[in-house]
Amino acid sequence: MTPDAAISAFSYLRAVQADDAEAAREFASGEPRMPELLVDVVERIVVPVTTLPGSEAGEPCADTFALEALGRVFVTSLRTWAQAGPDTAEGIARSVVDFALQFLTEDHEDVADTLRQLEAVGVGQALDAHPAPAGARATASPIAVRSIGIAAPH
């Protein structure tokens, strides 16, 4: 996933989470592969949370095997759903937001904060995998710039 794709996917997730239909529509129309991008994001979130712990954690119990299987089923289901086309983006996004709310958000946290933290990690991974060429200047779309709350360059 490229940095621009990661920013776009997380911007869309946050727009859906905030019930900002206009921004979500802009993000979705600007990226026809949005369902696939969301599934990529889901894999990066769900797999580390549901994977069986390493040997240092001791013997896994039935619950850890069930959680890993649930994670695989969730990702596979969303991947299958994404193949139906661009109109599936909102449902997939709502599933991701609900997963973040149920599994990753503590009682005192807001799911929007959790999504921002996940975005920072996801964009960092994308930058590591796709570093900008020497001398290149990173740019972001005006929609993405608006959604992450920084001033657009003039």
The mean pLDDT of 35-53, rounded to a whole number, is 87
Q: Which residue has the higher pLDDT, 34 or 44?
A: 34
| pLDDT, tens only, 71-92 | 899 999 999 999 998 899 999 9
Is residue 70 within 8 Å of residue 49, measured between CB atoms?
Answer: no
Q: What is the model's pLDDT at position 104?
A: 85
- 116, burial (CB in 10 Å: exposed 0-12, middle 13-18, buried 19+): middle
Rounded Cα distance between 38 and 23, Å, is 16
Q: SS3 for 25?
A: helix
Contact indicator for 144, 11 with CB cutoff of 8 Å: yes
Least confident of 100-104, 111-115, 141-145: 141-145
pTM metric for this prediction: 0.75
Please report how many Cα atoms fall inside a 13 Å half-sphere around the Cα of residue 68, on the Cβ side. 9
